Amino acid sequence: MRLTAPIETLFRIAEPQKKALKKLRIKTAEDLLYHFPARYGDVAEMRTIGSLAQGETVVVFGTISKLQATKAFRTKIPMGTAELKDDSGKIQIVWFNQPYIAKMIPEDALVRVEGRVSQRRPKSSDTNRSTLNAKRSFYFSNPKIEKVTSVPTGVGGSLFGEDGEAHHLHPVYPESQGITSNWLFHHIQKIIASGALDTLVDPIPPDILEKYHLPSLKTALIFIHAPQKAGDAVGARKRFAFEEVLFIQLEKQKERKLWQKEKSFTIEKGEEHIAEFTKRFPFSFTNAQNHAVSGILEDFRRGVPMARLLEGDVGSGKTAVAASTAYAVITSRPKDQNYGTLQVAYMAPTEILATQHFESFIEYFKHLPISIALITGSGCRKFPSKVNPAGWTDISRSQLLKWTKNGEIAVLIGTHALIQKSVQFKHLAFAIIDEQHRFGVNQRKALVHKEMRMPHLLSMTATPIPRTLALTVYGDLDLTVLDELPPGRKPIITEPVAPANRDAVYEKVRKELRAGRQAYIITPRIDEPDPDKEFAVQARSAKSEAKRLKEKVFPEFDIGVMHSKLKDTEKERTMEDFKNGKIDILVSTSVVEVGVNVPNATVIIIEGAERFGLAQLHQLRGRVLRSSHQAYCYVFTESMGAKTLDRLKALQTAKNGFELAEYDLKFRGAGQLSGSKQWGVSDVAMEALQNLKMVEAARAEARRLLEEDETLSHYPLLTEHLTSRKQDEIHFE
Ligand code: ADP
Ligand code: MG
């Protein structure tokens, strides 16, 4: 068996499974081997029908019969029904909305059924009494079902015996509709049994494996898919996590080395020069801000392109750092030129934010003899306007492109529109990316690869991420953390609210609104859930919540709605109205999370808080941390379970977003950290990010390997692996 062979050439695969495999991104036998179990279940959850009780989630093996596609008696919902039998009893199965399942399985087939046991309330109108009574009134509702060829040993026999045999580890794989964990397990075992693992060569150098006591590739694959004991699986996962972090580090460190070979601009401006500018602010900089500015100025002087990440909590004042370092650039002449200035590009993820920065930068720099421009999807602007030197004017795109290219525009602010090929600079010396996590790697690259000389790059983010994750995914960047908030801010009062106290909170909000303040109300959804989706999660939607609030709660106030499906112009108008106070309450999805600044908004209500990560909740509440008024954050949840309360407690007491990110990583599971996909890191590696030592070891090894052998010429396997990872990456984007 060749591991690179497409999977359908190795096994007979039905159409729905093909689709599912595609969704899981499994193309080859090797991909399948790298589809790791999400967890290890206990075989003990396998049960006999006679022993079932309501509410349990179980696996049952049995013979299926009376398969029927039908419609529910009164609601006419299409459904499939069947009866499942084993030696101990019978139970009814119902698949609402999935009548076809009844046609996919032959009568009297041996099947594995996995699902939750429900109990039906007996109704006199039930016509189908006899089958429903099959096993008292228990039934499986929409369980997973799969044909099997045999019942695993242990079920109904020794499994429930005294010897405890049953507790061997049984891998549970991430599934996709059309493919079950069991299918994945069996096919992976077939690949392993074929001996194909012997053809694998371990890309990790043996001395590294030895040093960290990691299992070899082959052993690890066997361990992860069929562990004999818990330690096997742990060791294997550790190895794969290490491998992945090592590869990410190698990539990032390589990029870093390449980047540092590029030519850049030497900008010789010292702290005194910047002080002339910063004294214009109505506040003095925090130590953290000063420190960040000094670090950047130092990078500017070195002639090597800077690549720096500025991580700072919401409201920590990143814009002021960006502006004062931009000041150093736009007050510098291009080399051998006694006119004009070096240029700055400032990219923001949304039009609202880009426009807001454009306005702020006009304020900051209006005393300088320079032009500032804005480019977004909906048009271009320039300051100063010829007709009205105190303000900006709309200009055509072609004018903007011309003036950017000939160097007349010193600061160009914009959205993604900024990275189009047609946007060319004369002396782009400084590229700033705001809320950089909103951009893909390629977009960041497109911004800096504008000219022969590399601009200095400053990436900014308020997304607090755990240190281990930062060291990994930002391994190519230098890190500056703004770990200090400007003084004088009253800490925000965060209060979890029990459903019964909803009205009391609305009254408190009303009081704030009457005092002239404004409020955000954040909902987890845009629209009402699709009523046809029977099991769709019920969560408050922005649109319906706005309507309800206007009708029932706050008829005397103006309410606006904001969500990602609005057109950019509508978003901008709504934001503008909110900023100007035309709107009192902004009901929004989490799109406002990013950087928006409305100092008069002092209250935020967050609905369905369990749907957000803590770090994200923290960012949301940062929206009302913008002024000296006391700010309030009321958190509504759909449940008040112990876990939810613990999380909310953390939200109340945490000193900053980083602490909360660490909490998310520990308690909510790595996969929940705003989705591991966002970081391009697998679930296994995310798990490992809880282990700082391991991350540091992988980083150190990557550095050492590249220092000893810059091109990795002695490690062809590593290089090959890196190349294939790269291809995957390009493929995803
Ligand atoms: P973020 O880091 O979230 O981008 P901003 O740059 O938007 O934060 O700053 C938030 C607010 O804090 C702004 O209104 C800004 O003027 C103000 N600010 C920034 N630095 C200071 C400081 N050192 N002292 C007081 N206020 C400051
Ligand atoms: Mg900001």
Residues 453 and 501 in one domain: no
Residues 53 and 160 in one domain: yes
Does a structural domain hold residue 146?
yes
Does a structural domain hold residue 387?
yes
pLDDT for 676 beyond 70:
no
- Residue 455: which CATH number? 3.40.50.300
Confidence band, pLDDT 50/70/90 cuts, at residue 42: low
Residues 334 and 284 in one domain: yes
Structural tokens at position 196: 């194909």
Does a structural domain hold residue 240?
no
Residues 436 and 355 in one domain: yes
Residues 394 and 504 in one domain: no
Does a structural domain hold residue 716?
no
- Rounded mean pLDDT, 335-354: 91
- pLDDT, position 74: 78
Does a structural domain hold residue 601?
yes
- pLDDT, position 165: 34
Nearest Cα residue to atom 11 of ligand 1? 315
Spatial separation of the C-alpha atoms in residues 688 and 221, rounded to whole Å: 17
Place of tokens 């150098």: 205
Residues 439 and 512 in one domain: no
Indicate the range of 123-132, 211-220, 494-503, 513-522 predicted with least confidence.
123-132
Structural tokens at position 280: 């214009």
Residues 375 and 444 in one domain: yes
Could you read off the pLDDT of 65-103 as tens digits, one per residue? 999 888 877 778 888 899 999 988 999 999 888 888 877
Structural tokens at position 110: 């041996």
Nearest Cα residue to atom 15 of ligand 1? 317
pLDDT for 8 beyond 60:
yes
Could you read off the pLDDT of 406-428 as tens digits, one per residue? 999 999 999 999 999 999 999 99
Structural tokens at position 359: 């306005």
Gap from CA of 362 to ligand 1 centroid (Å) = 16
Picking from 629, 655, 681, the residue at the C-terminal end of a domain is 655
Residues 396 and 541 in one domain: no
pLDDT for 370 beyond 50:
yes
- Rounded mean pLDDT, 148-152: 71
Does a structural domain hold residue 373?
yes
Residues 550 and 616 in one domain: yes
Does a structural domain hold residue 167?
yes
Q: Which residue has the higher pLDDT, 156 or 70?
A: 70
Place of tokens 């800077």: 306
Q: Which residue has the higher pLDDT, 106 or 557?
A: 557
Q: Are 154 and 43 in contact (CB under 8 A)?
A: yes
Atom of ligand 1 nearest to the CA of 322: 6
Spatial separation of the C-alpha atoms in residues 212 and 10, rounded to whole Å: 36
316 lines ligand 1 (CB under 6 A): yes
- pLDDT, position 627: 66
> Above pLDDT 70, what percent of the chain?
89
pLDDT for 43 beyond 70:
no
Spatial separation of the C-alpha atoms in residues 231 and 209, rounded to whole Å: 17
Could you read off the pLDDT of 586-612 as tens digits, one per residue? 999 877 655 567 889 999 999 988 888
Does a structural domain hold residue 470?
no
Cβ contacts of residue 666 below 8 Å, gap of 6+? 690
> Above pLDDT 90, what percent of the chain?
40
278 lines ligand 1 (CB under 6 A): no
Cβ contacts of residue 654 below 8 Å, gap of 6+? 614, 618, 660, 663
600 lines ligand 1 (CB under 6 A): no
- pLDDT, position 160: 31
Confidence band, pLDDT 50/70/90 cuts, at residue 725: low
- Rounded mean pLDDT, 222-232: 88
pLDDT for 515 beyond 50:
yes
Atom of ligand 1 nearest to the CA of 599: 14
Q: Are 60 and 151 in contact (CB under 8 A)?
A: no
- pLDDT, position 222: 94
Gap from CA of 317 to ligand 2 centroid (Å) = 7
pTM: 0.69
pLDDT for 266 beyond 90:
yes
Nearest Cα residue to atom 10 of ligand 1? 315
Instruction: Please state, rounded to an integer, the average pLDDT across all residues of the chain.
Output: 84
Nearest ligand, CA of residue 360?
Answer: 1
Candidate from 285, 316, 435 with most ligand 1 atoms within 8 A of CB, to mutate: 316
Confidence band, pLDDT 50/70/90 cuts, at residue 380: very high
Spatial separation of the C-alpha atoms in residues 351 and 613, rounded to whole Å: 25
User: Which residues pair with residue 28 across a beta bridge?
Assistant: 6
Residues 527 and 444 in one domain: no
Residues 384 and 292 in one domain: yes
- Residue 132: which CATH number? 2.40.50.140
The dihedral through the CA atoms of 180, 183, 189, 190 has a sign that is negative
Helix, strand, coil share of the chain (percent; to 5): 40, 20, 40
- pLDDT, position 525: 73
User: Which residues pair with residue 85 across a beta bridge?
Assistant: 63, 90
- pLDDT, position 121: 66
Residues 450 and 513 in one domain: no
Q: Enumerate the H helices of 123-229 as residue ranges.
A: 129-132, 181-193, 206-211, 217-225
Q: Which residue has the higher pLDDT, 662 or 217?
A: 217
- Rounded mean pLDDT, 428-432: 96
Backbone angles phi, psi at 99, to 5 degrees: -60, -25
Task: Tell me: cis bond preceding 384? Omega within 30 of 0 counts.
Answer: yes
Q: Which H helix or E strand runs over 687?
A: helix 683-688
What domain count does the chain have?
Answer: 3
Gap from CA of 311 to ligand 1 centroid (Å) = 14
Residue-number span of the structural domain to which 351 is assigned: 267-302+317-461
156-165, 228-237, 285-294, range with greatest mean pLDDT: 285-294
Picking from 419, 446, 461, the residue at the C-terminal end of a domain is 461
Spatial separation of the C-alpha atoms in residues 355 and 428, rounded to whole Å: 21
Confidence band, pLDDT 50/70/90 cuts, at residue 318: very high
Candidate from 279, 283, 433, 600 with most ligand 1 atoms within 8 A of CB, to mutate: 283
Picking from 655, 673, 696, the residue at the C-terminal end of a domain is 655
